[in-house]
A and B are shown apart, each in its own frame.
Chain A
Amino acid sequence: MSETARGNLPQLALHVPEPKFRPGDKVDYSHLTIPPAGAQPRPDEQCSAAETHPLCLDLVRVLGEDHHAVGPWDPKLDAETLRRMLRTMALTRAFDDRMYRGQRQGKTSFYMKCTGEEATSVAPAMALANDDMVFPSYRQQGILIARGYPMVDMINQIYSNRADKLKGRQLPIMYSAREASFFSISGNLATQYPQAVGWAMASAIKGDSRIAATWIGEGSTAEGDFHSAMTFAAVYNAPVIFNVVNNQWAISSFSGFAGAERTTFAARAIGYGIAGIRVDGNDPLAVFAATQWAANRARSNAGPTLIEHFTYRAEGHSTSDDPGQYRSAHEREEWPLGDPINRLKLHLIALGEWSEAQQADMDRELMEQVKAATKEAEKNGILGHGLHHPFRTMFEDVFEELPWHLKEQSAQAIHERRVKWPDWKEDEA
């Protein structure tokens, strides 16, 4: 007993959360409450934020056990749109697989997959207008793919080659794509949250009709920026959609370290006076419907919405991570909400609009498509193999114009280059 404990007062105890399963453990998800699809009410988009409270503790689901869409959240998408959604998610996965392999082959330094979470970026991108501004984290490559951003440009960025639009300045996957209304990704977590609110406020100040959407992982909701963003969005009724991708893991820390043992992430919205919805993040139709609801709400000046996407990070955090060190390998296979691509595929098959053979053909075709894009990008070089942007570009864009000290440092860097390689010319890579 501690020397400071007094009398008969109970001794205090610090609670340090611990995930249910560690490496080697048998996985049992029976503690998760998975409500049946179609059972969740769909309130009016103009409702008060408080009315959404039950949805923050529930789980909006559309695709039932029989793979049919049910209930008030069924977005009733036509087969063509569903096939496009399936294709985009499958393309995202094929892209991830290839880029992961590229990192292992030494073509780049780093990569992050979004395996198992494809629905949380592709479905929202399809529910938003293409000129709605998105402020993503690093695991929403599906948005760029859904918006038709050239895959070769994405790979050029990953390879930091001479065609990289970001001139080799950014770590792989920290894309920036203004023409796709895709905000520059930062390594600093959660900073995009208040920025998205500011963008949405600006849109409202100017009487525009565009809205903003932003993404964060459940781990990053612990950052102060999350609180700032929610407060500002509520105060100014900003037309913004907050997505929290709750994939259960922040690198090696399970969601309990972000507060998940006490409440849901969606429920945080209620305290700010913001509408909240918790969705089955592996149900692309539920994700689409929730985004559509939130977008309609924002567009009609009814205010912001927070959507928690309940999902599972099927792979390691990044190419620098080995999840086998901290979680059970069975978690992925036992995950009760399944795989988003598989579920949409089975839905289309149940509708008679798709087949396993078509799926296999499509997968082959997408693999070829990614392979071709990779080959195209490799013509511009891979990391560390010479073909990169001209040396002096390192000093550009710090400011709009080069101040004297950067001019001097640029000259110094070029001088060093010539000392090392006397024949080197400034504009050579």
Chain B
Amino acid sequence: MESGDEAAVEKCRIHLRPGTLRDAPPAMLHLLPCEVLVSRPAPVGRFFTPAIRQGPDGLEVSFRGRKLRGEEVVVPPGLVGYVMEEKGEVVVGKGSSEGSSNDKEQEQQELVEPPEALERDFDRFIGATASFSGFTLWGLETIPGPDAKVRGALTWPSLAAAIHAQVPED
């Protein structure tokens, strides 16, 4: 998604499958105050989640021997959180590996897509795999305060609305 890895083909459109927004099952998200360098499956439910305790000032857990403090943060009103994944090089008519009924439906959607998508060969697809209405925000030793950058970011949608709303006519 970051512009860096999209540089090759300016014509490229990445289609977001609308159906996946309806069907996305709820997910548990934690925003950690540290960088884990590799993205991959992790036994979060075995080591992390069961260790979370309700302490006097919010949630407590430890990760790699460091104490974390956290709290639930809700998604701003009017928005829904989604986790999205790109589905490799999907070619029309070629089924994906998971083979659920949902995928068959998606396959049909590809087939009925209008031929006006001329850059067909370059087009890619992305879909929501999960949804969320809030996540747990973790800080090292203390709960991230009101000045935390992520809290500021969550106020962006209301400000953006003011910047981009149509101005009244004269």
Partners in one complex: no
Using a CB–CB cutoff of 8 Å, the interface residues on chain A facing chain B are none
